[in-house]
Structure 1
Amino acid sequence: MILKKLFSFFFLTLVCLVNAQETKQKDTITDKNLKFNYKQLIIPAGLIGYGIIALDNHELLGINTQIRTEVYEHIDEKVSIDDFSQYAPAATVYILNNVGVDGKNDLKDRSIILGTSYLMVAATVTGLKHITKVERPDASSFNSFPSGHTATAFAGAEFMWQEYKDVSVWYGISGYLVASGTGMYRMFNNRHWLTDVAAGAGIGILSTKVAYWLFPYTNKLFSKKNKNVESVGILPFYNGKQTGIGMALKIN
């Protein structure tokens, strides 16, 4: 029963995200970036708020424990696909552009946007982990809240949505499906609570939205004459203990 509720939670979240985003297509402006609209804060703020409120709410913490118990009883083997799937939506944007499916922004612009988003994700997640010191479900450490993997995945999913929603909504939907799967696997692998995943999703979505809103300003930092990005390389890495993503820009 708990597993069904868990899948229902993520499915309904995905549907709400897609519906909310579809109503905001008209908010784009001529320079291809999002116009600020407070309504776009509702979903990520709700997800983050749920996670924060649950830190001191016995009923919500009880749901965390019930889900963890249910998952622990039904999942016999851990699958580390979430270490790599967290980067899949963002990497897909570059792959699609390389095979000729153009998104909203060119190479330099989308790289600045994604880099800004990832910086905000890293700063927010790291800061909250140090402040909250929530113990992980597997009792391995006290840095469970929020889920960094989930935040990275949803930042990439929102990035993919914004770049390709005008080409086909299915690109954005697929990105959010992968991000949702990443969050589920973090719980299935006994690494995070539901509240960690919910907050991580909200942080990821919000970081990318803010990155688009800030782009007219961040772009000025990279707008020097005679400097154009010729190529970009993105490569996830895994050294046995840590995972990450590297980005290299070639500038002439």
Structure 2
Amino acid sequence: MKKINLIILFSIMVLNASGQYKSPDSLSLNKNIKFKYQALIIPTTLIAYGVIGLESHTLKDINNDTKQEINEHIDNKLTIDDFSQYSTFLSVYALNAAGIKGKNNFKDRTIILTSAYLIMGTTVNVIKMTGNELRPDRTSNNSFPSGHTATAFMGAEFLYQEYKDVSVWYGISGYLVAAGTGFFRMYNDRHWFSDVAAGAGIGILSTKIAYWLHPLIKKTIFKNKENMNGIIMPVYDGKQYGLGMSMSF
């Protein structure tokens, strides 16, 4: 019940951040921010599936069946998911560096990415710390939700939003990589299917919220900081992989 209450609270916080109605299918957070209900359908469905899967015997059976099918047909373990989780949003910077311009400049897309990462990371870690879902490999009780999958789908939505007007295939490729990340989390016995589904939903929703809030964040926090430069690069401390970011204003 703790996990269900956290998800409900998170949803209420998102909705309470909204302002007055502008149309039946959207509402305004301020003059520049439009909140579209339709964009919530897929991520909230995925999150709901994951939450229900914590208690539903039917969905737990699906988790076990999925695990057995993967283990029966694939023998060797791979850890590509430790890297692929970051590749989706790093692709945005790589494409820009290659001269293929997306929707936003370095400053705006970095603000959006940072916001999305904070929303996603906070949500995932709070749920993990208050939950008690045993991982398939029985190494710990923080299986729900999948942080790797959340990161990958956060990046996939980021890639889609930045390049959907250039070519929808950039977004599709990002989502394929994100789906592959989720698959390898199950393949390596680190997560159940319901963990992956919830992680995907949280990742997508985090990026959508970041885009909705961006005009407000830019106006209130970065209004006098027109020039921003920086670099994002992977780091490894001998035990865990991560990302480092350095920015100058």
TM-score range, shorter chain: 0.7 to 0.9
Cα distance in 2, alignment partners of residues 189 and 223 from structure 1: 45
Amino acid at match of 2:223: S
Partner of 2:119: 120
Does the CA-based 8 Å contact 1:86-1:150 persist in structure 2?
yes
Partner of 1:243: 241
Cα distance in 2, alignment partners of residues 35 and 236 from structure 1: 34
Instruction: Identify the range of structure 1 (109-118 vs 75-84) with the bigger mean alpha-carbon deviation.
Output: 75-84
The alpha carbon displacement at 1:70 in A equals 2.0
Tell me: CA distance 1:238–1:77, structure 2 relative to 1, closer, same or farther (3 Å): farther
Tell me: CA distance 1:66–1:41, structure 2 relative to 1, closer, same or farther (3 Å): same
1:223 and 2:211 aligned: no
Partner of 2:196: 197
Partner of 2:6: none
The alpha carbon displacement at 1:164 in A equals 0.3
CA RMSD of aligned residues (A): 1.4
Percent identity between matched residues is 59
Partner of 2:39: 40
Cα distance in 2, alignment partners of residues 78 and 222 from structure 1: 45
The alpha carbon displacement at 1:35 in A equals 3.0
SS, match of residue 34 in structure 2: coil
Cα distance in 2, alignment partners of residues 61 and 200 from structure 1: 16
Amino acid at match of 2:245: M
SS, match of residue 36 in structure 1: strand
1:142 and 2:141 aligned: yes
Does the CA-based 8 Å contact 2:117-2:206 persist in structure 1?
yes
Does the CA-based 8 Å contact 2:33-2:216 persist in structure 1?
no
The alpha carbon displacement at 1:130 in A equals 1.7
Cα distance in 1, alignment partners of residues 121 and 49 from structure 2: 20
Partner of 2:67: 68
Task: Deviation per CA, 1:87-134: give whole Å up to 9, x if none.
Answer: 001001001111111100110000000000000111100011122210
SS, match of residue 84 in structure 1: helix
SS, match of residue 87 in structure 1: helix
Cα distance in 2, alignment partners of residues 174 and 102 from structure 1: 17
Does the CA-based 8 Å contact 1:135-1:141 persist in structure 2?
yes
Cα distance in 1, alignment partners of residues 43 and 73 from structure 2: 30
Cα distance in 2, alignment partners of residues 68 and 100 from structure 1: 42
SS, match of residue 88 in structure 1: helix
Instruction: Identify the range of structure 1 (238-247 vs 189-198) with the bigger mean alpha-carbon deviation.
Output: 238-247
TM-score by length of 2: 0.84
Does the CA-based 8 Å contact 1:84-1:236 persist in structure 2?
no
Aligned residues: 218
Task: Deviation per CA, 1:191-222: give whole Å up to 9, x if none.
Answer: 00000000000000000000000001111201
The alpha carbon displacement at 1:237 in A equals 2.0
SS, match of residue 35 in structure 1: strand
SS, match of residue 86 in structure 1: helix
After superposing on structure 2, the runs of 4+ consecutive aligned residues of structure 1 that deviate more than 3 Å are: none
SS, match of residue 99 in structure 2: coil
- Extract unaligned runs of 5+ from structure 1: 1-26, 28-32
Amino acid at match of 1:90: F
1:105 and 2:104 aligned: yes
The alpha carbon displacement at 1:249 in A equals 1.1
The alpha carbon displacement at 1:34 in A equals 7.0
Amino acid at match of 1:245: L
Tell me: CA distance 1:104–1:34, structure 2 relative to 1, closer, same or farther (3 Å): farther
Matches within 5 A, 1:201-212: 201-212=200-211
Task: Deviation per CA, 1:156-186: give whole Å up to 9, x if none.
Answer: 0000000000000011111111100000000
Partner of 1:9: none
